[in-house]
Amino acid sequence: MIHSLFLINHSGDIFLEKHWKSVISRSVCDYFFEVKEKAVDPENVPPVLQTPHHYLISIYRGKLFFLSVVQTEVPPLFVIEFLHRVADTFQDYFGECSEGVIKDNLVTVYELLEEMLDNGFPLATESNVLKEMIRPPNILRSVVNTLTGGSNVGDTLPTGQLSNVPWRRAGVKYTNNEAYFDVVEEIDAILDKSGTTVFAEIQGVVEACVRLTGMPDLTLSFMNPRLLDDMSFHPCVRFKRWESERVLSFIPPDGNFTLMTYHVSSQNLVAIPVYVKQNINFFETGSCGRLDITIGPKQNMGKTVEGLMVTIHMPKVVLSANLTATQGNYTYDLTTKVLVWDIGKLNPQKLPNLRGSLSMQAGAPKPEENPSLNIDLKIQQLAISGLKVSRLDMYGEKYKPFKGVKYLTKAGKFQVRT
Amino acid sequence: MSASSAFNDEKGGSSSVGEPEYGHDPASGGIFSSDYKRHDDLKEMLDSNKDSLKLEAMKRIVAMIARGKNASDLFPAVVKNVACKNIEVKKLVYVYLVRYAEEQQDLALLSISTFQRGLKDPNQLIRASALRVLSSIRVTIIVPIMMLAIKEAASDMSPYVRKTAAHAIPKLYSLDPEQKDQLIEVIEKLLADKTTLVAGSVVMAFEEVCPERIDLIHKNYRKLCNLLIDVEEWGQVVIINMLTRYARTQFLNPNINKTFYGSDEDEDEDEEEKEKKAEVAAMAKRKPYVMDPDHRLLLRNTKPLLQSRNAAVVMAVAQLYFHLAPKAEVALLILFEMISTLYTCGMFEPYLKSFYIRSTDPTQIKVLKLEVLTNLANETNISTILREFQTYIKSMDKDFVAATIQAIGRCATNIGEVRDTCLNGLVQLLSNRDELVVAESVVVIKKLLQMQPEKHSDIIKHMAKLTDNIQVPMARASILWLIGEYCEHVPKIAPDVLRKMAKSFTNEEDIVKLQIINLAAKLYLTNSKQTKLLTQYVLNLAKYDQNYDIRDRARFIRQLIVPTEKSGALSKYAKKLFLALKPAPVLESPFKDRDHFQLGSLSHLLNAKAGGYQELPDWPEAAPDPSVRNVEVKESVRAVGTVTYRDTGALWGPQKMEGSEGCSFPRASDSASGSESGSGSEESGSGSESEESEEGSESEEEEEEEEEKDKKKKKKELKKPVPETESLVTDLEGLSLSDSVLSPATIAPSSVLKNYELLHRITGEGLSVEYCFSRQPFSPDANMVAVQMQFTNSATSDTKNLHMEDVKLQSGMRVKEFPEIGEREPEDIQCTAMAVMGIDFCDSTQAANFQLCTHTRKFFVSIQPPVGELMRPIFLTENEFKKEQGQLMGMNEITEKLTLDAKCRNEHAIVQRVTTAANLSRVPCGSDKECRFAGRTVTSSSLVLVTVATKEEGAAQLTVNCEKMVIGTMLVKDILLALTQ
C-alpha cells in the first residue's frame, strides 16, 4: 500500500525518507514541488497528485509535509488518516511534531516508522503498544542506557498486541490513581455583517487522562446525552452500551487519549458568547480606509471570556495600519498582511475597541470585499452546549480513584463577515 | 513430520546452493572496503566488541539512510552484526539490511541463516521480526526459503506471527508471482483464522494476491462480518472494501424495482432516522425482493463503524452503504463522493449549513463544498443558498468566485423557479470590475438564456453594450454568439454590434473572430438588407487572416450564404443550417461521470483507473447459492457466538445463540473470539482429541462418588434436548484446547478441563453451578486464576440478577467478581450461561468462600483450587530448564519413586496425565526416557519444574523443583496420584 514516506520541511528540503518496499528515488518529489510552487498557500496543495508512475498523497502538519508515495489503488483517506496517525505518534513521543525534534530523534523516528508499517500496511499504530516496543526518549533513561548499555527497544511482544484490548497494557501500577476528563467545545460560527448568525455549531471533544492501576472498567454518564449527535469514539468505547443506555462504557487506555468527539448540531440553538460591532471602510479616493471594531459579551452564561483575539487577513493592497486599541495591543504583519489584535480578558464594563486608519497602496483600486474577522476566545469552566458529566463509575478494581472533570469552551472557526 | 523433514531437506539444499556464494563474498567485500575509506571509523566501531559502540555506529548509519545518503559500502561490516545479542543493534541492522539487501544480494545471503534460526526462537516477537526481515529482503534466490518460512509461520501458535506471515505473502508475491498457487493455499488457511489480529492482514494479502478468488471468502464471510468490529481500524477498511466487492457478486440488487434516487434529497433529516424510516418503507414496498440475511448481516455489522474515530473507516462504511444498501438508506451518503478528500469526520453531517464556506478554507475545499451545496439545492432551500452564494461572489479568491458563478448557473438550470432571480443576479455581476468575474457570468448567462430567450431581450441588449468594455475573449465570443443566435429579438442592435466588431476585427482573438463571422452570417440571412456590405467586409478581412481556421471558415460561409450561380442546392438550406433551434445546454458538475469507480478509492478521486484497481462487479441477475457460506454447525455456532468486546454492552444479546454464551467479561469474549488457532485441520484434529480425552477422563473418574456421576449424567441429559448447548460445550472445550496452544508457553497437548461442582441442583433449587479452571490468562489481572462458571437453570421459575456477595477470603487473596447476570429463563435454549471470574489464591490452596445470590435466594459456596491450577505454563528450552533446575536443588527438590499405571507407560499418556493434573507445559527434551514440564505459580511467579524419568517395567522417578516447598509437596502428591491410578 504505502510505498515510501518523505518528510519535507517548509522550504522544500527532504530531511527524512523511508521506504517499505524497494527504494523510490527522491526525485519523485519534484512533481510535488512543482505543484507546491504554484499553490501560494501550503494548505492549497492538493492532497493527492498523480505522476506518471506513482501517486503522491500528502498532508501538511506543523509546517511539515508528510508525503507518501503509493503505486496501486488504495483508499486515499486510508493513507491520509495514517499519515495523521504518524504525526500524532511523533507528537506523543516527542511533545511536538517539528523538523528540529524529528531530526534530533532520527533513529527513534526511524524505528517507529519501521514498526508502524510492514510492507506498507499498518502493523502497530496503538501508542501504548509502540511505547512498549520503543520507549520514548527521556533524559534519565538515556543516561542509564549509556552507562549500562541498555536499549530503548523492548525485546518481548507487547501484551496489548495480542489482547482484545490492544490499547491497554497489562500490569499498570500507580500510587495515585486518577482519572481526569476535559470536555472541550469549539464553536464554529459564521456571523454576517449585521451580527446575525448564518451558521453555528459546536464541535466537542472529551479528552481523558486516566492513570489507574490494573484493568479498570469505567462508565461515564452524562446529564444530558441527548444533546450529542454525530459522535465518534475511541475504539475502547462499547457501541452497544451507548446505543442502548447512552453511557460511555470502556476499559481506558493508559495515559492521555481522546475518548470521543461529538457534534452539537446547528438546530439546537448555539449560544454565541460575544458580539462584534465592526465598521471597515475603504475609500474610493485617497487610498486609505477606516477600521472600527468593538467587542462585547453576549451569551456567556455569567463566565468571563478570556484569551480574546481578533485576526484579520487584510487585502493585499493594505500597506500599513495606524490604529489605537483601548485594551490589549495589535500587530500588523506587513508581509502576510495579517492584523492581529490580542485583547485578553473581556471586561463587560469597559468594552475593548480598536479604531484607526488603514493606508493603502497608492493608485490601487479599492478592494471589493471587506476582510472577515476571525475571533479567538476561551471560556473556562463552561461547556457552551450545556453538556455535563453526571458521574464516573469504576468497576473491576477495588481502590478509589481521584476523579475530575474540567470544561472549556473555545472559539473554533469563528468568523465574522464584514 | 514429513513436512519438517522436507523442510530440513530444503534447508540443506539451499545451504549447499549458498556455499559457493559464501566463498565468493570476501572478494566482493574486499572490493568495497578498498574502494571507500571514508567510513573507516564506523567500520571500526562495528567491529569492536562493545555493544555500545556498535549501537552508536548503527545509529549514525541509520541516520544516514534516513537522510537519503548512501551507506551501501558498509554492508559487509553491518551484516556481520546481524546475530548481535543487543536487541536494538539487531533491529537497526535489520533496518539496514532491508534497505540495501536488494542492491547487494550476494552479501545479504550471509544473514539468512540468522533469520532461519530466529524463526525457531521461543520468543514470538523474534520469530515475527525474523520473518518480517526475511520476507522484506528482496533477493530472488531465497524465494523457496521464504515460502517455507511463511508456510511454517502461518500455522504458528502466536497470532502475531501468523499476522506477520500474512504480511509476508504479498511481499513474496511481488518478488516471484509464480508462487501464486502455493501462496493462495496459505491465504486460504489464514482466512480460516479466527483471531481479529490476523483477519485484516490476511484480507489485505488476499486483495493483493488473488482478489479474483472470491470463492475463498464464502466460508469465512459470516466470521469476517462478525469479527469486523473488533479488527483494528486499518484492517477494517480493507475488509469492508473487500466485502463490498464480495457482496456485489453474491447478493441481488436491492434497488432493482425502484427508480434511481435523485440527488436532491431532503437534507434536514437526520441520516440515521432517515435510514430507519426508509428501511421500514422499503420493506413495505418491496414485495418480491427479500434481502439475503447475510446481506443484512453485513449492513448491520458495519453500521456501528460509522462512529469510528478513523475517517477512512467511516468512508469505507459509507461507500459500502452506497454500493450495497437499498438506495433509500443511503440517500445522503452520496455526498461523500465529493468530499472524500476532506479530513474531517464532520463530513457525515447532513446539514446544509456545514458546507457554508469560510474565507480561510483552502481553495480546493471551497470548491468541493460549493459542489455539495449545489447538489443539495432544491426549491425550498434555494433562497438561502443563493444568499450565501452572493457572499462568496465578493470573495478575494477569484477562482472561487468563478466556481461560484458556475454553481449559480447550475442551480438556475436545475430549479426553474429561481432562474429569473439568478439571471438578474448574474446580470448585476456584469458590471463587476473584475474581468474574470464578468467573463464567467457572461458564459453562464449565455447558457441560461438559451433556455428561454424570448423573455430576455433586454438582458441581451445589456450584454450587447458590454462588448465595448469586456476584453476577455471567451466572454466576447459568448456575447456575439448570443446576439447572433437571437438577432430576431434585438433587430436594431445586432447590426450595430456587427459594425463595431467589423471595425476591430483584426485585433480580436481567434475565437472572437470566428464568432464575428458567425454573427455576420446569421445577420446576412435574417437581415441582408442592412448587413450585406458589412458581412462581405468581414468575410474579406477573414479571407486574409493569418489563422487558417478563420480563412477556411470564411470561405465556407461565403459559399454557403452568398448565392452565386455556381453555388449548389446547399445555399437554400443555409438558414436552416445556421438558425436551427439549438437544444439548451445542460450545466454539469465537473465531478460528474465518476460513479463508475468505487467510492473513496484512489481511482475515484483521480477519475482514472489506478494500478491494481478492482472493478466493482455488477449485481448478479440471480443470486448465487447462498448455502456456500454455510459452515458446519459447530463452527457456525462459534461464529455467531463470538461476542466481541465492543458488543458486550448488552450482556445478553438479542440473539438466542449469543445469549447462550453471554460472556460477561471482555476477556472471556476475547478467549472466544480471539484465541482459536489457525488451521482448520488442526482444529478438527484437536476437536476429536478432546472428545476422546473427555471419555478417558470419564472412565477414570468412575471410581469417584456417586454424586459426581450423577452430575455428569445430568449434564448429559441436559445436553441432549439442547443441541446448541452441546455444540457450545464442545466448542468451548475445543477452545480452551487451542487456547493453551496459543499462549506462548505450551507445546504439550493440553488435556480436557475438569469440571467441579459449585452448587448442586437440589440445594440450588433448580439452579446448578459448575466451574472449571479454564487455564486461560485472566486479563484484568495477570495474578488471578480464571475460573469459568457454568450456570444451569432447571427450575420452573426464572432466575434473575445472579451475582456474588460477601466474599470471605484469607488475607492477601483477591477476587474479581463476574458481573451480574440477567434473566435466566427455565428449561429453554437459554437455560445455561457462562461467566468468568478471577481469583488470586496467593499460591495457596485455601478456598475462596462467597455467596451466590439470585433475586430471591443466597447460597454459600466455596471454590478450592487443586494445586495444579495455581500455576501457568511457561516455555523453557532444554538448556534453560537444566540451568533453572540446577538452581533449585536441595530443599527445593522433592523426588519420589513410583510405579506407573499400566495404561500409562508411553510418553503420550504421561504427558497427558501430568498436564491434566497441573497447568504446565512440556519442555523439549533430548532423551525419550524423560518428560519435563515447566510452569510458574500464578501469584508469585516462582518456577515449578517437573521431571518424570521412566525406567524398565513401569518404574519411574518423579522430581519436582519448586521454591515454594508447600506447593512442591502438594504437586508431587497430585501428580503421583495421576500417574499411578
Q: Is B309 in Cβ contact with A234 (below 8 Å)?
A: yes
Residues in chain B: 981
Assess contact for B341 and B359: CB atoms under 8 A. no
* Amino acid B600: pLDDT: 63
Rounded CA separation A98/A14 (Å): 13
Put simply, whether the predicted model's pTM sits higher than 0.95 gets the answer no
Distance, in Å, from the CA atom of A184 to the CA atom of A203, rounded to the nearest integer, reads: 8
Judged by CB atoms closer than 8 Å, whether chains meet at A396 and B780 is answered as yes
User: What φ, ψ does residue A83 adopt, rounded to 5°?
Assistant: -60, -40
- Phi and psi torsions of B448, nearest 5°: -70, -40
pLDDT of B703 reads 44
Over residues B60-72, the mean pLDDT reads: 85
What is the per-residue pLDDT across B227-236, written as a single tens digit (0 to 9) for each?
888 888 888 8
**Mean of the pLDDT values across residues B10-32?**
39
pLDDT confidence of residue A131:
80
- The answer to whether residues B914 and B978 touch, using CB atoms and an 8 Å cutoff, is yes
Beta-ladder partners of A292: A279, A355
The 3-state DSSP class for residue A51 equals coil
pLDDT of B202 over the 80 cut: yes
Most confident of A402-406, B231-235, B666-670: A402-406
Of A22, A214, A261, Cβ closest to residue B780:
A214
Assess whether pLDDT exceeds 50 at residue B668.
no
Instruction: Identify all chain A residues contacting B356, using CB atoms and an 8 Å cutoff.
Output: 190, 198-199
Q: Are A175 and A217 in contact (CB under 8 A)?
A: no
Residue B295, pLDDT above cutoff 50: yes
Average pLDDT value for residue range A7-22: 86
User: pLDDT value at position B453?
Assistant: 63
Give the phi and the psi of residue B932 in degrees, each rounded to 5: -120, 145
Over residues B797-806, mean pLDDT: 74
pLDDT in tens, B87-105: 888 888 888 888 888 888 8
Binning pLDDT at 50, 70 and 90, where does residue B691 land? very low
- Residue type for position B641: G
Measured at the alpha carbon of residue B311, what is the angle toward residues B310 and B317, in degrees to the nearest 5?
100
Residue A378 vs residue A284, higher pLDDT: A378
Distance separating alpha carbons of residues A168 and A213, to the nearest angstrom: 11
Using one digit for the tens of pLDDT, what is the confidence trace for B118-153?
888 888 888 888 888 888 888 888 888 889 899 888
Say what the pLDDT of residue B514 is. Answer: 87
Phi and psi for A8 in degrees, rounded to 5?
A: -125, 135
Q: Closest chain B residue to A261 measured between Cα atoms?
A: B309
Is pLDDT at B570 greater than 70 in this prediction? no
Sign of CA dihedral B558, B559, B562, B564: positive
Average pLDDT over residues A40-48: 77
Cα(B751)–Cα(B775) distance, integer angstroms: 11
Tell which wins on pLDDT, B798 or B407.
Answer: B407
Query: If you average pLDDT over residues B188-200, what whole number do you get?
Result: 85
C-alpha cell at B741: 496452544
Residue A199 has its nearest CB partner, among B353, B394, B603, at B353
Helices in B176-270 by DSSP H: which ranges? 180-191, 196-209, 221-227, 233-250
Contacts with B, A 332-391, CB within 8 Å: 365, 367-369, 371-372, 374
Orientation of helix B159-175 relative to helix B143-154, angle to 10°: 150
CB B42 within 8 A of CB B60: yes
According to DSSP, residue A129 is labeled H
Best of A108, A127, A129, A157 to substitute, by most chain B Cβ atoms within 10 angstroms, is A157
Torsions phi, psi for B319 (to 5 deg):
-70, -35
Give mean pLDDT, residues B1-19: 39
Q: pLDDT tens-digit profile of A167-213?
A: 887 778 888 889 999 999 988 888 888 878 877 888 889 999 988 88
pLDDT class for B356, splitting at 50, 70, 90? Answer: low
Query: How would DSSP label each residue in B71-112?
Result: -GGGHHHHHGGGG-S-HHHHHHHHHHHHHHTTT-HHHHGGGH
Is a pLDDT exceeding 50 seen at residue B724? Answer: no
Please name the residues between 95 and 124 in chain A that touch chain B, using a CB distance below 8 Å.
106-107, 109-111, 114, 118-119, 121-123
Residue A102: CB atoms within 10 Å: 22
| Cβ-based contacts of A234 with chain B (< 8 Å) | 309
* Lowest pLDDT segment from A236-245, B603-612, B712-721: B712-721
Distance CA B328, CA B258 (A): 10
Which candidate in B234, B388, B399 is best for mutational testing of the A interface (most A CBs within 10 A)? Answer: B234
Interchain proximity A231–B307, CB inside 8 Å: yes
Among candidates A44, A110, A151 on the partner chain, residue whose Cβ is nearest the Cβ of B364: A44
Whether residue B844 is predicted with pLDDT greater than 60 in this model: the reply is yes
- C-alpha grid cell, residue A118: 510492514
Q: How many CB pairs under 8 A join A and B?
A: 291
CA distance A224 to B769: 41
- The pLDDT of residue A398 is 83
CA A125 to chain CA centroid, Å, is 19
pLDDT tens per residue, range B378-425:
677 777 777 777 777 777 677 778 888 888 887 777 777 777 777 777
CB nearest to B170's CB, from A74, A114, A119? A119
Judging contacts by C-beta atoms under 8 Å, the chain B residues touching residue A231 are 307
Q: Is the pLDDT of residue B114 over 80?
A: yes
Burial B494-504 (b: 16+ CB within 10 A, else e): bbebbeebbee
Helices marked H in B544-598: 548-561, 574-578
For the segment B854-866, the average pLDDT, to the nearest whole number, is 80
Could you tell me if B393 and B426 are in contact, meaning their C-beta atoms sit under 8 angstroms apart? no
Residue B185 and residue B313: Cα distance in Å, rounded? Answer: 29
Q: How many Cβ atoms are within 10 Å of B708's Cβ, its own excluded?
A: 15
Q: How far is B669 from chain A (nearest CA, A)?
A: 9
Alpha-carbon distances of B288 from B237, B252, B283, B618, rounded to whole Å: 33, 12, 10, 20
3-class secondary structure per residue, B262-325: CCCCCCCCCHHHHHHHHHHHHHHHCCCCCCCHHHHHHHHHHHHHHHECCHHHHHHHHHHHHHHC
Three-class SS state of B889: coil
User: Residue A411: pLDDT above 80?
Assistant: yes
The answer to whether the CB atoms of B341 and A47 lie below 8 A apart is yes
Q: Is the pLDDT of residue B280 over 60?
A: no
Q: What type of residue sits at position B386?
A: L
Instruction: Place B702 in a pLDDT band, splitting at 50, 70 and 90.
Output: very low
Of A387, A239, A263, residue with least CA distance to B348: A263
pLDDT, residue A34, reads 87
Query: Does residue B638 carry a pLDDT above 80?
Result: no
Asked if the Cβ–Cβ distance from A73 to B601 is below 8 Å, we say yes
Q: Is residue B11 exposed (0-12), middle (13-18) or buried (19+ Cβ within 10 Å)?
A: middle
Rounded-to-integer distance, Cα A112 and Cα B110, Å: 26
Across all residues in chain B, what is the average pLDDT? 70
| Per-chain mean pLDDT for chain A | 83
- Please give the helix or strand (H or E) that residue B687 lies within, else none: helix B680-700
Whole-complex ipTM:
0.80
Q: Are strands B955-962 and A2-8 parallel, antiparallel or unpaired?
A: unpaired
Does pLDDT of B750 surpass 50?
no
Interchain pair A244, B270: CB under 8 A: no
Query: For A153-157, A290-294, B202-206, B813-817, which range has the lowest pLDDT when averaged over its residues?
Result: A153-157
And the C-alpha cell for B58? 548503527
CA B585 to chain centre: 44
